[in-house]
Amino acid sequence: MVLQILAFGIAKDIFGARQINFVVPSQCTVETMKDLLEERFPALKRLATYAVAINEVYAVPAQYLQEKDEVAIIPPVSGG
Amino acid sequence: MNHISIRDTDLKLDDCYQFIAAPDAGGIDIFVGTVRNKSLGKTAVKLEFEAYEKMAISEIAKIIEEARSNWDLINVFVAHRTGTVEVMGIAVIIGVSSMHRAAAFEACRFIIDNLKQTVPIWKKEFFDDGAHWVSAHP
């Protein structure tokens, strides 16, 4: 399936875009998606950490993704 | 009442005060986060803020809900900037009104401390010799 992944902050710089289309297996967890993303964008591994949000809520690694989900890469936040 | 906003125009202290002032309030606490001219020993010239707006608003709402479960609060105001904020400019305003000052002080600090931990907002710091996303790398 194809996920539309939003990127913010430094993740946007790493992807070179605010949003990318990314192909993952049909049964795909957040953890697997992160591994696949890191293969294509090794700079992600140099971040202090990064989270994934699904439909505007922080996701856990074992959570399964659906094609219609709004997926976002959340690098370390630094508001305030 | 709660007010949450994320905007790319100047934040006004008076908007906060007007929103949180209440007849039954005995204390009002306002935290203002501003842009300073030094960071990492270098001269900073401005910050740029980016937000995942819808999620930022829902995460701020969760923090306010938790604060309200810990303290007896009347009104809560949270406003955060996006876009460019120059030195001395206001990046964030947190305002809390309560019957007594202890709750207002503690809740205000709780909200800003948690905002910095969980709310999807990012700042890019611009120095006279370059720029970086704050906290991105170890």
Q: How far apart are CA B138 and CA B120, in angstroms?
A: 18
Does residue B91 register a pLDDT over 90? yes
Q: How far apart are CA B35 and CA A41, in angstroms?
A: 32
- Residue B75 backbone dihedrals phi, psi, to 5 degrees: -125, 145
ipTM over 0.85: yes
Q: Evaluate whether residue B135 is within a structural domain.
A: no
Does residue B135 register a pLDDT over 90? yes
* B91/A13 CB distance under 8 A: no
How many domains does chain B divide into?
A: 1
The whole-chain average pLDDT of chain B stands at 97
Q: Evaluate whether residue A80 is within a structural domain.
A: no
Q: Evaluate whether residue B73 is within a structural domain.
A: yes
Chain A nearest-CA distance from B32, in A, is 9
B135 part of contact set with chain A, CB < 8 Å = yes
- Report the greatest alpha carbon distance in chain A: 38
The model's pLDDT over B99-133, given as tens digits with 9 standing for 90+, comes to 999 999 999 999 999 999 999 999 999 999 999 99
pLDDT confidence tier of residue B15, bands split at 50, 70 and 90: very high
How many domains does chain A divide into?
A: 1
Structural domain harbouring A46:
2-74
Q: Evaluate whether residue B136 is within a structural domain.
A: no
Strands (E), chain B: 2-7, 27-34, 38-39, 42-51, 73-81, 83-86, 90-98, 121-127, 130-133
Structural domain harbouring B13:
2-129
Q: Evaluate whether residue B138 is within a structural domain.
A: no
B9 part of contact set with chain A, CB < 8 Å = no
Please identify every stretch of chain A with a pLDDT value under 50, giving residue numbers as ranges.
Answer: none
Structure token pair of residue A1? 């399936």
B115 part of contact set with chain A, CB < 8 Å = yes
Q: What is the CATH number of the domain that holds A31?
A: 3.10.20.30
Residues of B in contact with A80 (CB under 8 A): 33, 80, 91-92, 112, 115-116, 121
Q: Give the mean model confidence (pLDDT) for residues B7-19.
A: 98
A21-48: buried (b, 16+ CB within 10 Å) or exposed (e) per residue? ebebeeebbbebbbebbeeebeebeebe
Q: Evaluate whether residue B137 is within a structural domain.
A: no
Count CB atoms within 10 A of the CB of residue B106: 16
Q: What is the CATH number of the domain that holds B32?
A: 3.90.1170.40
**What SS3 state is found at A32?**
helix
Q: Evaluate whether residue A68 is within a structural domain.
A: yes
Q: Evaluate whether residue A6 is within a structural domain.
A: yes
Q: Evaluate whether residue A79 is within a structural domain.
A: no
Structure token pair of residue B131? 């720029």
Q: Give the mean model confidence (pLDDT) for residues B82-90.
A: 97
pLDDT of res. B40? 85
pLDDT of res. A40? 98
